[in-house]
Chain A
Amino acid sequence: DTGVSQDPRHKITKRGQNVTFRCDPISEHNRLYWYRQTLGQGPEFLTYFQNEAQLEKSRLLSDRFSAERPKGSFSTLEIQRTEQGDSAMYLCASSLWAEETQYFGPGTRLLVL
């Protein structure tokens, strides 16, 4: 399968714990995006990378959130000191530079107790 993959698919954690999610984009895609989706809402943009450079961050990305894409391939999204409001589906997408279409992974569903 050469699509976007995300790991883990599900994560349950206690409030205050740190969590880290991984995204592996389609191999030739140089752009990678993170979104958050809550119940009844569409995906909300968090941040995106072009190769290893993080080019844009949403105001939704508080200082407890950090994303990296160290070698321009896979990316990680870390949430520190999780809160119940962080419970959501975290989606990763990738695209080729100068192409508009983004391809999504299956998402990581986070539940903070």
Chain B
Amino acid sequence: DQQVKQNSPSLSVQEGRISILNCDYTNSMFDYFLWYKKYPAEGPTFLISISSIKDKNEDGRFTVFLNKSAKHLSLHIVPSQPGDSAVYFCAASYTGNQFYFGTGTSLTVIP
């Protein structure tokens, strides 16, 4: 019962262009969403989050959009840089206690 889904296992983008990573969820009770970035042999690193009372949150080159009616969120990275190449996980929570993670999208930014 995968409650958070990332349907694209991989994405390649040219340096300087926009990267769009997508995430869908099934549980309408989720009220907090996060994106994490993971490099090989390291734990996930927090990137950006959004509460369900908002539909957009921006932090530098990273913007997260939330569409509650579609149960969909996306992460935009503009402009993409080679150092952004990593696996990106979205996560969701409705109690603040247990987080549900997607299966990840591997982003490759081509110089």
Contacts and interface: CB of A to CB of B under 8 A. Distances in A.
Best-surrounded residue of A6, A42, A58, A107 (most CB of chain B within 10 A): A42
A9 to B, nearest CB: 8
Interface in A34-66: 35, 40-45, 48, 55-56, 58
B43 A56 contact: no
A72 interface: no
B66 interface: no
A2 interface: no
Contacts of A25: none
Interface string B12-38: 000000000000000000001010100
Interface size classification for chain B: 20 to 34
Interface string A18-43: 00000000000000010100001111
Given A105-B43, A106-B41, 13 more contacts: A35-B101, A41-B104, A42-B102, A43-B89, A45-B98, A45-B99, A55-B97, A91-B44, A98-B96, A100-B32, A101-B34, A102-B46, A104-B43
29 contacts: A4-B43, A35-B101, A41-B104, A42-B4, A42-B6, A42-B91, A42-B101, A42-B102, A42-B103, A43-B44, A43-B99, A45-B98, A45-B99, A45-B100, A56-B97, A58-B98, A93-B43, A100-B34, A100-B49, A100-B96, A101-B46, A101-B49, A102-B34, A102-B99, A103-B46, A104-B44, A104-B45, A106-B42, A106-B43
Q: Which 4 A-B pairs have the closest CB atoms?
A: A42-B101, A104-B43, A100-B32, A104-B44
